[in-house]
Structure 1
Amino acid sequence: MTAIATTTAGSSTRTLLTAAAAAAPVWALVSLGQVLTREGFDLTRHPLSVLSTGPLGWIQIANFLLVGALVIAGSFGLRQVLRGKPGGIWAPRLLLINGIGMVAAGVFVMDPGDGFPIGTPDGMPAAMSWHSVLHMASGSVSFIALAAAGFVLGRHFSRAGARGMAIASRAAGAAVIVGDGWAMSGGRAGSLTLAVGVTAAMAWVSLVAARLRKSA
């Protein structure tokens, strides 16, 4: 019975980590597909969140909801595989917050702006709607949690003696901070740097989950 329970637990953990491993590829493919095909969208001007607006906005909304759910599921797998190890408490918690933030960002849609969807006046709206405010707040919480998770994973791998993994984890956390900071400062092509920084960090978390899955 003990062997069966152990096998079942291992299978469950691997399934949850598979969800985390799938999160970044799904996010990147769905987002990139829209960047390349939705008329009027310019990633150097428009954040990926604005894809949630317009007649096809449901695609990006679904992307937020699905990827957020995958990250939430993956956080439980991470908790199981890192239990009792450095970072085993906070890395899963931060990924859980990151996933919840993504789901909330899908529920609360950003306002149209700066010419997208086509027909929207140039420039950002003079005032944000309540759901756009909540979208921005959700996104900020999600970004902070993702960045922090990168640094906590860096500590985990550093303690485990995996220097390269530790450096890459911290670089992933820094990528979110730099990308978001540049965007918030009004820097040129800030929406692009934000998308690159966040997607890179998400990709690293997915790679970590895939690696940990092998030992689960």
Structure 2
Amino acid sequence: MSTAATSRTTLPAPPDQDRSNRSSLVRFMLGCGAVAGPLFLTTVLLQEANRVGFDPSRQPLSALSLGDLGWIQTTNFIVTGLLAATGALGARRALDVGHARTWGPLLLGIYGLTLVAAAAFVTDPVAGFPTGAGAVAPSWQGQVHNTAALVSGLALDAASIVFARRFLSRGQHAWAAYSIVVVAADLTAAGMAATTGDFRWLLLGGAVTWTWASAVSLTLMRARRQPAAG
């Protein structure tokens, strides 16, 4: 082989470097999942505090996607949904054999994708929001949106149970208890919302589960960093 041909030959990356690159990619994806929940919640709270005519006790957060500034919440659904879905892919690569390896990432992925679906199918006006909106018959788009929101919450509740089983099997009792409390808190908040008609309970339940999902991504990301540091 000539010298010129040899110089054009691309040598494969060393195995250690290849593993390091894959580990960095997984940590990046898990980082996306860790950001999703806090970003979504912060964006919602800022809008609720500043949108004229919006009453968080009478209108669900989905109503923020209506009106002239509705694009903010629509973008929030899309960005955080994609971040959560990316985090789910990272969780699938990060989890070794054992409980939750299949269903955990799958349920986290459903949570992310249903947020994107909530952006694609806009909810109907509700309780006079946007300002001046009258009563309207439920549309099919609004029904799909509501279904996506319901599936998103149920997926996170199911994921909490699946991960609780994994944490118990590994002796991580604090994480297992946290995961079970998350489900109980979300279901309790949903019951309070149905009883009182106050949508702030739904926001509280959502905040608990979104934060839990981000915390799981964060702890998986830290676990991936420890072998590399060693």
| TM-score, structure 2 normalization | 0.88
1:107 corresponds to 2:158: no
Name stretches of at least 5 consecutive residues in structure 2 with no aligned partner. 1-13, 225-230
- Per-residue displacement from partner, 1:15-64 (whole Å, max 9, x unpaired)? 00000000011101110000100011111111100000010000000000
Which of 149, 165, 177 does residue 155 from structure 1 map onto? 165
Which residue of the other structure, out of 54, 62, 72, is the alignment partner of 2:85? 72
| One-letter code aligned to 1:137 | T
**1:22 aligned residue:** 35
CA contact (8 A) 1:17 1:78 kept: yes
Residues 156-195 of structure 1 aligned to structure 2 (within 5 Å): 156-183=166-193, 185=194, 187-195=195-203
Aligned residues: 211
Aligned ranges for residues 59-98 of structure 1 at < 5 Å?
59-98=72-111
Alignment correspondent of 1:54:
67
One-letter amino acid of the counterpart of residue 153, structure 1 = F
Inter-partner Cα distance in structure 2 for 1:79 and 1:12: 12
The aligned amino acid for 1:174 is A
SS of the aligned residue for 1:201 comes to helix
Partners in 1 of 2:79 and 2:198 — Cα distance? 25
Q: Which residue of 2 aligns with 1:13?
A: 26
Corresponding residue for 1:210? 218
**Residue 44 (structure 2) pairs with residue 44 (structure 1):** no
Give the deviation of 1:93 after TM superposition.
0.4
Query: What is the deviation of 1:127?
Result: 2.1
Match of 1:199 in 2: 207
Look up the match of 2:130. 117
2:155 aligns with one of 145, 159, 167: 145
- Check the 8 A contact 1:41/1:117 in 2, yes or no: yes
Q: Which runs of 4+ in 1 moved over 6 A?
A: none
Q: What is the alpha-carbon distance in structure 2 between the residues aligned to residue 57 and residue 81 of structure 1?
A: 36
Choose 1 or 2 for highest CA Rg: 2
Query: Hey, what's the Cα distance between the residues in 1 that align with 2:118 and 2:112?
Result: 10
Asked whether the 8 Å contact 1:175–1:198 carries over to 2, the reply is no
> Matched residue of 1:190: which SS?
coil
Per-residue CA deviations over 1:53-108 (Å, capped at 9, x if unaligned) read 01000000000011100110000111111131221111100011111111101110
- Letter of the 1:171 counterpart: V
Q: Letter of the aligned partner of 2:23 in structure 1?
A: G
Could you tell me which runs of 5 or more consecutive residues in structure 1 were left unpaired when the two chains were aligned.
Answer: none
8 Å Cα contact 1:83/1:89 also seen in 2: no
